[in-house]
Amino acid sequence: MIQRKLEVTYLPYDRTTRVPAGTTVFSAAHWIGLPIDSTCGGRGTCGKCKVRVIQGRRDAETADHRQLRPSEIEDGWRLSCQARVYEDMTCEVPQLLRVPKAATMGLGRLVILDPNVRKVYLELSEPSMEDQRSDVARLRDALTEEGHDMVAGVAVLRTLPPVFREAGFRVTAVLAGEQLVAVEAGDTTAECYGVAFDVGTTTLVGTLMNLRTGMAASVLSTLNGQAPFGADVISRISHGMNGPEAIQELQDAVVGTMNTVLGELYRETGVTPQQTYEAVVVGNVFGIDPTPLSMSPFTPAFMDELSVAAREIGLQIHPHGYIQTLPALGAYVGADIVAGVLATGVAREDRIRVFVDVGTNGEIVLGSAQRALATAAPAGPAFEGSQIKCGMRATVGAIEGVQLSDRVELQIIGGDVPPEGICGSGLVDAVAQLLLAGLLEYSGRFKKPEDVPHHPLHDRLIDVDGMRAFLLADGVYLTQRDIRELQFAKGSIATGIKVLMDILGVTVDDLDEVLLGGSFGSYLNPESAKIIGLVPPVAVDRIIAVGNSAGEGAKIALLSYRERQVAFELPSRIEYIELSGRSDFNDSFISVLGFPQLAPIQ
């Protein structure tokens, strides 16, 4: 049974959002992009996020009594980060005293720059016979006065005595949330960095971010070091099932790749590991046994977000820095999709949108702020160029675009180089063009040359080892089996979308946009995707490639603890639908294996 969401209205803005019970008023405001002042990260220590509860439950918490005057509490003022929503509420929000720094990120989203990592410069009073507080008490008292809580581990405490005295008690405290990461001599507030990692199946992307300005200092992508253990997630899960040593191999490969990327980022920018205090990582880097994912009921070890000391896996950032991950929505709808939803704003707006990450596993999110659903459809490796006779990864020599008229025009990665094979975007383009040219039936069956004797490309309909095929270039062709592989892949994703639409009770006419995520989605021709039936038949200008949305979401979570909190809440707001064993999936799958008759046969 779906829990009823509660309405929170913010005055004088007259903005309303609907949230699950127990959400804080502070977090509910972030959900609709309404800034409420705060410097403590929503921990109830700075006292700046107060709102006046006009209607609804308004029990005062301990932090309210500590930060607010009795007359304010009597008048209904509460710290929004402590006030939780248990019934419909109306609140008055004071006007911001300052305009918050913001950056445009993701799909044109304005993100408030408020990173989890904070640097606070302090000029501490020196010890005396009259003031014999310990170093840590002296530091904690000063941070409390600035509105920050502090928790310090032994490793950081060891550094306090020499740093304090060498710096004359003029120091910069580095906090990740409430965790004390470092104390540095002098004012180092201008030097504050973090790194966002998108750990994809094929490609790993690292972006070094200036947490003070919100700008990317440098970005680098490379092949995921796990590639030798399999081209897809299932192959790597199979490798991990060989035991602890195999799991360790997978972890060493991905962490090694991340450290290689970090080394290059540091070299390009002059930033040091000691100035890089946090990493937001979208992907599995912890060496968790994946075996349960390989069998029903497909239960992973965990799906929650984690904050882990970087030294636990050997990531080369500050020795006392942290790694933050995002939660998953389901067994095969992971943190990359949560990051993509964060970047695109799906499930936070009134528009009904479909977000699809097309790959070996097609992850789908459908809905709006009213209700959103997610699922994973097993597409297979065709979109990655695998199991295609002349298929290859999207690298130099791969055909990535096809145009058929009275001749064959090819777009090849690398420019003026001979074609060596065809990658996923080229495959989709080629099949769409074959349909438009009338060389491929809507059932997916190639026509014979004698069926289209007057077509200028009829001589490219060839026979390869007793199988019909189409010649794209010397040595590069599509076979009938390749067409079937694509049909199964696109059919699985199209069926996943249809099942979610049926559950939500929406039609194609209700869809405002279709968003294509991931690196493959960036290069996919929207019209071709529509022609083959991969996506619903909306107007082409409403099919939008959103690029590396997972990487964008990781950067957003790095730059804004408010947005990070939104990401943490997404599993409670998006319903996960398991497709395995659903009769409507099997029935719909059969019905969409053919190609939609959208274009006239010439």
Identity at 325, one-letter amino acid code:
T
Q: Which residues, in sequence order, are CB contacts of 86 under 8 Å at separation 6+? A: 6, 21, 22, 57
Please write the tens of the pLDDT for every residue from 314-344.
999 999 999 999 999 987 888 999 999 999 9
* DSSP character string of 390-452: TB--SSTTEEEEEEESSSEEEEETTSSS---EE-HHHHHHHHHHHHHHTSB-TTSPBPPGGGS
Q: Considering the chain, what is the average pLDDT of its residues? A: 87
Please write the tens of the pLDDT for every residue from 52-93.
999 888 888 888 888 888 888 888 888 988 888 899 989 988
pLDDT-derived band at 579 (thresholds 50, 70, 90) equals confident
Q: Which of 32-36, 308-312, 396-400 has the lowest mean pLDDT?
A: 32-36
Residue 244's pLDDT is 81
pLDDT-derived band at 602 (thresholds 50, 70, 90) equals very low
pLDDT-derived band at 293 (thresholds 50, 70, 90) equals low
121 in Cβ contact with 187 (< 8 Å): yes
Cα 577 to Cα 77, 332, 573, distances in angstroms: 41, 11, 13
Residue 496's pLDDT is 93
Token output for 368 = 């709006």
What mean pLDDT is predicted for residues 506-511? 96
pTM for the model:
0.84
Cis previous bond, 12, omega within 30: yes
Distance of CA 296 to the CA centre of its chain: 26
* DSSP character string of 173-187: EEEETTEEEEEEES-
* More confident position, 296 or 129: 129
* More confident position, 210 or 4: 210
* More confident position, 106 or 48: 48
pLDDT above 60 (res 485): yes
Q: What is the CA radius of gyration of the chain?
A: 27
pLDDT-derived band at 287 (thresholds 50, 70, 90) equals confident
Separation between Cα atoms, residue 567 and residue 324, nearest integer Å: 12
Within 31-169, strands assigned E span 50-55, 77-79, 89-92, 102-105, 109-112, 117-123
Residue 158's pLDDT is 93
Q: What percent of the chain has pLDDT over 90?
A: 54
Cα 50 to Cα 91, 92, 95, distances in angstroms: 10, 9, 11
Please write the tens of the pLDDT for every residue from 149-174.
899 999 999 999 999 999 999 999 99
Residue 1's pLDDT is 41
Separation between Cα atoms, residue 468 and residue 477, nearest integer Å: 10
Domains of the chain: 6-99 (3.10.20.30), 117-185 (3.10.20.880), 193-325 (3.30.420.480), 336-381+486-592 (3.30.420), 384-479 (no CATH)
What mean pLDDT is predicted for residues 379-387? 74
Q: Which of 19-23, 88-92, 592-596 has the lowest mean pLDDT?
A: 19-23
Reported as type and span, the H/E element at residue 557 is helix 549-559
* More confident position, 352 or 100: 352
pLDDT-derived band at 98 (thresholds 50, 70, 90) equals low
Residue 6's pLDDT is 85
- CB burial string 20-29: b at 16+ within 10 A, e below: eeebbbbbbb
* DSSP character string of 378-402: E--GGGGTTTSTTB--SSTTEEEEE
pLDDT-derived band at 362 (thresholds 50, 70, 90) equals confident
What mean pLDDT is predicted for residues 105-128? 86
Q: Which of 251-255, 292-296, 354-358 has the lowest mean pLDDT?
A: 292-296
Range list of H helices, 131-174 = 135-145, 154-157, 160-166
* More confident position, 471 or 70: 471
pLDDT-derived band at 295 (thresholds 50, 70, 90) equals low
pLDDT above 70 (res 414): yes
Residue 483's pLDDT is 94
Please write the tens of the pLDDT for every residue from 424-446.
889 999 999 999 999 999 999 99
